[in-house]
Amino acid sequence: MRSLPDYDVIIVGGGMVGASLASALCVEQFRIAIVEAVSSRSDNQPSYDDRGLALSLSSQRILAGLGLWDKLCSTPIRHVHVSDRKHFGFVRLHAEMLHIPALGYVVTARELGRVLLDRLDMTDNIEFFCPATVDAVWIEPACAKVIVNIDGVTRTLKSQLVIAADGTHSRSRELLGITVQIKDYGQTAIVTNVTPEKPHCDTAYERFTESGPLALLPLSDQRYAVVFTVNTCDAGHYLQMDDYTFTNCLQRRFGRRLGRFQHIGARKSYPIKMISAREQVRDRVVILGNSAHTLHPNGAQGFNLCLRDVAGLAEILIPALSENKDVGERELLNIYLAARQKDQRHVMRFSHALATLFYNELPHKVLVRNTGMLLTDMLPIIKRSFLRQAMGLYGRQPSLVRSLAL
């Protein structure tokens, strides 16, 4: 008989992805440990900041399946307007086209964090080591050992499986010697929020400009979450501007469609890179979330893709754990990866194509993308297919996306 390690699963990183996976696994009496570096409810928790997140219908279904959706305060996106600044192309998307109430929803990362952490607090079978960091990860035939540092005290945790969900600069990925491919876009996203003069009418905007995309996502109280992408060499300049000057820059970039922008919020910046881990599974290891793939925020797909990975992984782990199988076995983890790779590749290619095609003023590229936008706007068949992809409702998706229980 197999001797059992301390935990079934250790999740390194209790951010959006690690906490979502724990929420999916805690429905059964599995023994789960989370190792998180930053105090969960503190203002400087990097995963749960004031960023607005556009959640696709696939994410809404997954969170509903986990019993979390009703607890979230969200704003629906019923219309999307995509345009190319100074050029003729645009695309308008409407929820009615697909006979659905919304194309997606906006929540703040902080709100999502509140709901996820409330769920974890209510669960007895999760041990939360926080603030704690990982000093070493050893993979042995019978178990994985994670050496954690808790307030200067070192402790060894043993489990069948280690999930590295500690973000883009994952320390656990590095400790395992897993290398990454990096594409630096030379861009920085400046995130803030603003109240426009006119009501938002549940409309999101994505405006492609010479220095990168500008996204406005509707929030409650008629506010908009703003993702303003600039060349990294100019980012310091934009961050140091006073509010009045910055609001004017934003206004010039967006135009007057929503009237005057007022009440600008605090600004925070994120360097933009595409990062993909060269390995996502090993014996007793899964690399998950931003640690596995970090995307350009242009298509608002990063967390949506990660959440479909979480649903796909939970779908494999829960039955195996229920049957007392060893969830660290490579064959099992390969099944997860095989099921998820097509979606991952598709979304990464789409995000990279958006970043390169729209960041290019060569006349033939401008013509191709603007003609493509107009065709998409005019032809319902292209529009519907585009929408299904953006909502994560294409191909074979995990059962929670198909609204089936885990």
Q: What gap in Å lies between CA 17 and CA 14, rounded to an integer? A: 7
Minimum separation from the CB atom of position 38 to ligand FAD (A): 4
398 scored as a contact of ligand FAD (CB under 6 A): no
Listed ranges 194-202, 248-256, 302-310, 330-338: which one lies at the site for ligand FAD (CB under 6 A): 302-310
| Cβ closest to ligand FAD, residue 89 vs residue 289 | 289
Number of amino acids touching ligand FAD (CB under 6 A):
36
Choose among 110, 157, 185: nearest CA to 9: 157
Q: What gap in Å lies between CA 275 and CA 182, rounded to an integer? A: 5
> Cα angle vertex 13, ends 10, 19, to 5°?
85
What one-character DSSP code corresponds to residue 70?
Answer: G
Minimum separation from the CB atom of position 41 to ligand FAD (A): 12
Query: Which of 60, 193, 301, 344 is close enough to bind ligand FAD by CB under 6 A?
Result: 301
54 scored as a contact of ligand FAD (CB under 6 A): yes
300 scored as a contact of ligand FAD (CB under 6 A): yes
209 scored as a contact of ligand FAD (CB under 6 A): no
The phi, psi pair for 62, rounded to 5°, reads -65, -45
223 scored as a contact of ligand FAD (CB under 6 A): no
By the 10 Å C-beta count (0-12 exposed, 13-18 middle, 19+ buried), 242 is classed as: exposed
Query: Which of 33, 134, 178, 347 is close enough to bind ligand FAD by CB under 6 A?
Result: 134
> Cα angle vertex 25, ends 23, 29, to 5°?
115
14 scored as a contact of ligand FAD (CB under 6 A): yes
| Cβ closest to ligand FAD, residue 102 vs residue 366 | 102
* DSSP letters spanning 280-304: SEETTEEE-GGGTEE--GGGS-HHH
| Cβ closest to ligand FAD, residue 14 vs residue 65 | 14
Say if residues 87 and 368 touch (Cβ distance below 8 Å).
no
Listed ranges 139-147, 234-242, 293-301, 318-326: which one lies at the site for ligand FAD (CB under 6 A): 293-301
Query: Which of 4, 27, 28, 38 is close enough to bind ligand FAD by CB under 6 A?
Result: 38
- Contacts of ligand FAD in 69-128 (CB under 6 A): none
Helices (H), 215-362: 232-240, 243-254, 302-322, 330-357
* Unique residue bearing structure tokens 């006119």: 198
Query: Which of 5, 89, 212, 302 is close enough to bind ligand FAD by CB under 6 A?
Result: 302
Task: Give the count of alpha carbons within 13 A of 3, CB side only.
Answer: 4
312 scored as a contact of ligand FAD (CB under 6 A): no
Say if residues 103 and 57 touch (Cβ distance below 8 Å).
yes
* Unique residue bearing structure tokens 């203002």: 43
Choose among 144, 150, 146: nearest CA to 129: 150
Choose among 103, 158, 143, 118: nearest CA to 304: 103
Query: Which of 289, 312, 328, 398 is close enough to bind ligand FAD by CB under 6 A?
Result: 289
4 Cβ contact partners less than 8 Å away, ≥ 6 residues apart: none
| Cβ closest to ligand FAD, residue 65 vs residue 213 | 213
* C-alpha 185 chain-centroid distance: 18
Minimum separation from the CB atom of position 154 to ligand FAD (A): 14
| Cβ closest to ligand FAD, residue 219 vs residue 366 | 219
36 scored as a contact of ligand FAD (CB under 6 A): yes
* Sign of the CA dihedral running 81, 84, 86, 90: negative
Query: Which of 11, 306, 347, 387 is close enough to bind ligand FAD by CB under 6 A?
Result: 306
What is the token pair recorded at 3? Answer: 């001797």
213 scored as a contact of ligand FAD (CB under 6 A): no
37 scored as a contact of ligand FAD (CB under 6 A): yes
Listed ranges 46-54, 136-144, 206-214, 349-357: which one lies at the site for ligand FAD (CB under 6 A): 46-54
Query: Which of 128, 303, 336, 359 is close enough to bind ligand FAD by CB under 6 A?
Result: 303
| Cβ closest to ligand FAD, residue 83 vs residue 168 | 168
Q: What gap in Å lies between CA 8 and CA 213, rounded to an integer? A: 42
Binding site for ligand FAD (CB under 6 A): 12-18, 35-38, 46-47, 51, 53-54, 133-134, 165-167, 171, 189, 191, 227, 270, 289-291, 297, 300-304, 306
